[in-house]
């Protein structure tokens, strides 16, 4: 095998060499010191313009860059076009910062190796920020129960990741929570004195302030970028628990402002620039209950204004149309604070990614960001309800953010080629996963209302399917049969498929096969039972329920292998329990039917019960989302949460 080599010259080249060695190594190039002998002889040149320029004539190459991260995009593009002896390209940077946010709190804490892998992926696209969402998963000295048995990051792990990111000009931004979203830790008896109500911290409390002070100091010790995302979102019941008992009713806007002022002083003292999610602040300042309900001419009351040094993060993964995003960005801009935009990869809606919804909202949102002058954007990769969707499924939206960072008119051919080069994967294969949930996939349209039948059908009971009136399950059965065939073809025909893709598509092929068996099973059981057709009942037991039991176990094993490659082991136990439940409930249903068939019981009351619609058409018309994604509400009408 002939070695492919690259060399580097230019001012400050020592700051770039280690990153170049890693990135070029991904594409089987070796960094050498002998400039004249290298196949690609790269000279780096810093420029003041916010542009990236590449000039190549034979082996001589110059990359003109404004930000360090942009230089590595230039390297990636140069390597992608290595067969062109003459190659010239000029791109304008559309954003000052662009990145992704990895969820490290919904039971899933990425391994250090996974974080490093995604940092290199960011470098391929010239993206310069990695946000890590850590509710209680960053260790704090003196608080042993903070992140206990949750796979929390050690300081040394975060310092290692931070140092690695700096090789590529990438800033890691810790996203913590300093107000709410702390259910996992506040449910512990050791934190009872820190709790106001629900998942909200008790404010103006000495113990709470000591905790947050220690958390912020830990952040400053781990991360060198000087930026912290303080959270502060979705605290609807702020001040209505112990705070109310201690101090009486106080205006939530004033309570929040006082807390933020304390946080900002603490951040300033230790050299951190704060960002907050904007929903609470926007609602309190405009006097509305719904984050997305404001009209274009709405004016803030300006009663509880924040320091203009705090950046407001407008998050929106739901709405469609450039005009809506433009309107909401301008509403944020009325408040006078810097605005950061956060979109979403739709990895949290179920078992499979909502690729089409994410593509649509990303396009609309980023076009609006261009037009309104928003210069800081990132894509959230939430993993709500237990991280059921593998992390790698977000790669199409990752690539879209990367390319939109340097292009306002992106062609499908360009994104497909970049996807293949940067990730070694096929765009169409990953987009096919949208077929698990998108009701209009065959028509080439997007999943506007975020329906998620795959998760619903996977977990709903075989005898008492709560949601069978919400989907045409017999139609879905046919779709999943065809999808299983397509996924198996991908597995067989892509000879260069890497191990990660073999795990991912092996997992989804089993899922499609399982869903094809489960779709409509409740109705088929009831029809056979009511007709007292013992032959059909016997066939359902043998050919459907037994198959469901076996496929669910295969699915569990595949999912475990994916998890252990992406994350620390903590948190996987939840998926183990859920998928084992699918298997065992199939066995239980088979046992119940066998007892009826053999005359051991005279009836099966749970089959005789009429299944009612979970929601009416009128209810759905008023809702932005039509998916059902909380596991505990899918499996039974019985109570699984609380007393």
Q: Which two tokens stand for residue 412?
A: 């499908």
**Pairing mode, strands 200-201 and 376-381:** unpaired
Report the distance separating Cα 257 and Cα 259, nearest Å.
Answer: 5
Domains and CATH numbers, the chain: 4-92 (3.30.160.230), 97-424 (3.20.20.80), 452-634 (1.20.120.670)
Q: Is 228 helix (H, G, I), strand (E, B) or coil?
A: strand
What's the 3-state SS for 422-457? HHCCCHHHHHHHHHHCCCCHHHCCCCCCCCCHHHHH
**Pairing mode, strands 171-175 and 97-103:** unpaired
Give, to the nearest 10 degrees, the angle between helix 572-597 and helix 521-530: 10
- Asked if residue 199 has pLDDT above 90, the reply is yes
- Asked if residue 305 has pLDDT above 80, the reply is no
pLDDT at 2: 60
- Is the C-alpha dihedral spanning 434, 435, 436, 438 positive or negative? positive
Give the mean pLDDT of 307-327.
94
Give the mean pLDDT of 149-166.
98
- Asked if residue 69 has pLDDT above 80, the reply is yes
Q: What stretches of 223-271 show up as alpha helix (H) in DSSP?
A: 242-247, 252-270
Give the mean pLDDT of 196-202.
96
Half-sphere exposure at residue 12, Cβ-oriented, CA atoms within 13 angstroms: 11
* Percent above pLDDT 90 for the chain: 89
Residue 285: pLDDT band by 50, 70, 90 thresholds?
A: confident
Q: What is the pLDDT of residues 94-122, one digit of tens each?
A: 999 999 999 999 999 999 999 999 999 99
Higher pLDDT, residue 493 or 552: 552
How does DSSP classify residue 641?
S
Report the distance separating Cα 21 and Cα 32, nearest Å.
Answer: 9
Closest listed residue to residue 147, CA positions, set 220, 218, 224: 218
- pTM for the structure as a whole: 0.97
Report the distance separating Cα 204 and Cα 260, nearest Å.
Answer: 11
Mean pLDDT of the chain: 95
Closest listed residue to residue 562, CA positions, set 383, 432, 390: 390
Q: What is the pLDDT of residues 343-367, one digit of tens each?
A: 999 999 999 999 999 999 999 999 9
Report the distance separating Cα 18 and Cα 123, nearest Å.
Answer: 13
pLDDT at 307: 75
40: exposed, middle or buried (C-beta count within 10 Å: 0-12, 13-18, 19+)? buried
pLDDT at 302: 65
pLDDT at 1: 47
Vertex 352 angle, CA 350 and 356, to 5°: 105
- Asked if residue 304 has pLDDT above 70, the reply is no
Give the mean pLDDT of 415-430.
97
Q: Is 376 helix (H, G, I), strand (E, B) or coil?
A: strand
320: exposed, middle or buried (C-beta count within 10 Å: 0-12, 13-18, 19+)? middle
Give the mean pLDDT of 567-587.
98
């Amino acid at each position: 095998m002939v070695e492919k080599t690259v060399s580097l010259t230019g001012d400050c080249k020592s700051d770039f060499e280690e990153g170049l060695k890693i990135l070029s190594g991904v594409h089987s190039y070796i960094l050498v010191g002998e400039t004249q002998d290298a196949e690609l002889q790269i000279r780096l040149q810093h420029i003041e313009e916010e542009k990236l320029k590449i000039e190549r004539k034979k082996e001589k190459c110059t990359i003109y860059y404004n930000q360090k991260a942009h230089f590595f995009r230039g390297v990636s593009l140069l390597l992608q076009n290595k067969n062109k002896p003459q190659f010239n390209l000029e791109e304008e940077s559309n954003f000052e910062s662009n990145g992704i946010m990895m969820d490290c709190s919904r039971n899933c804490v990425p391994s250090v190796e996974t974080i490093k892998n995604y940092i290199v992926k960011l470098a391929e696209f010239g993206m310069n920020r990695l946000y890590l969402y850590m509710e209680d998963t960053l260790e704090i000295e003196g608080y042993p129960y903070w992140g206990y048995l949750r796979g929390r990051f050690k300081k040394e792990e975060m310092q290692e990741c931070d140092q690695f990111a700096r090789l590529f000009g990438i800033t890691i931004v810790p996203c913590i929570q300093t107000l709410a979203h702390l259910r996992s830790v506040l449910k512990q008896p050791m934190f009872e004195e820190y709790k106001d109500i629900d998942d909200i911290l008790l404010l103006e409390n000495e113990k709470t302030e000591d905790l947050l002070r220690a958390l912020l100091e830990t952040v400053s010790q781990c991360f060198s970028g000087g930026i912290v995302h303080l959270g502060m979102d979705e605290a609807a019941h702020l001040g209505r628990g112990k705070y109310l008992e201690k101090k009486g009713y106080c205006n939530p806007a004033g309570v929040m402002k006082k807390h933020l002022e304390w946080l900002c002083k603490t951040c300033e003292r230790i050299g951190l620039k704060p960002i907050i999610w904007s929903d609470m602040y926007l609602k309190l300042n405009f006097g509305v209950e719904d984050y997305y309900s404001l009209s274009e001419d709405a004016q803030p009351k300006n009663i509880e204004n924040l320091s203009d040094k705090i950046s407001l993060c407008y998050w929106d993964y739901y709405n469609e149309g450039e005009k809506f995003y433009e309107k909401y960005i301008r509403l944020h801009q009325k408040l006078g604070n810097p605005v950061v935009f956060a979109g979403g990869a739709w990895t949290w809606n179920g078992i499979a990614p909502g690729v089409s919804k994410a593509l649509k909202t990303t396009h609309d949102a980023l076009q609006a960001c261009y037009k309104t002058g928003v210069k800081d954007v990132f894509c959230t990769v939430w993993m709500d309800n237990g991280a059921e969707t593998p992390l790698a499924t977000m790669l199409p939206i990752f690539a879209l953010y990367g390319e939109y960072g340097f292009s306002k008119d992106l062609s499908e051919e360009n994104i497909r080629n970049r996807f293949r080069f940067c990730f070694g994967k096929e765009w169409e294969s990953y987009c096919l996963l949208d077929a698990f949930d998108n009701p209009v996939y065959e028509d080439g349209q997007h999943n506007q209302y975020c329906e998620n039948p795959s998760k619903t059908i996977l977990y709903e009971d075989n005898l008492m399917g709560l949601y069978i009136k919400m989907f045409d399950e017999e139609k879905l059965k046919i779709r999943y049969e065809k999808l299983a065939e397509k996924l198996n073809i991908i597995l067989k025909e892509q000879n260069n498929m890497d191990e990660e893709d073999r795990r991912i598509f092996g997992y989804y092929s089993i899922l499609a096969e399982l869903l094809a068996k489960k779709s409509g099973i409740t109705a088929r059981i009831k029809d056979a039972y009511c007709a007292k057709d013992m032959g059909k009942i016997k066939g359902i037991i043998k050919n459907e329920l037994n198959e469901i039991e076996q496929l669910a176990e295969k699915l569990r094993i595949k999912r475990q292998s994916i998890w252990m490659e992406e994350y620390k082991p903590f948190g996987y136990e939840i998926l183990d329990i859920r998928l084992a439940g699918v298997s065992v409930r199939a066995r239980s249903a088979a046992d119940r039917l066998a007892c009826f068939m053999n005359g051991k019981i005279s009836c099966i009351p749970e089959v005789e019960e009429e299944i009612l619609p979970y929601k009416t058409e009128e209810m759905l018309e008023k809702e932005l989302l039509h998916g059902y994604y909380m596991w505990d509400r899918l499996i039974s009408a019985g109570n699984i949460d609380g007393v």
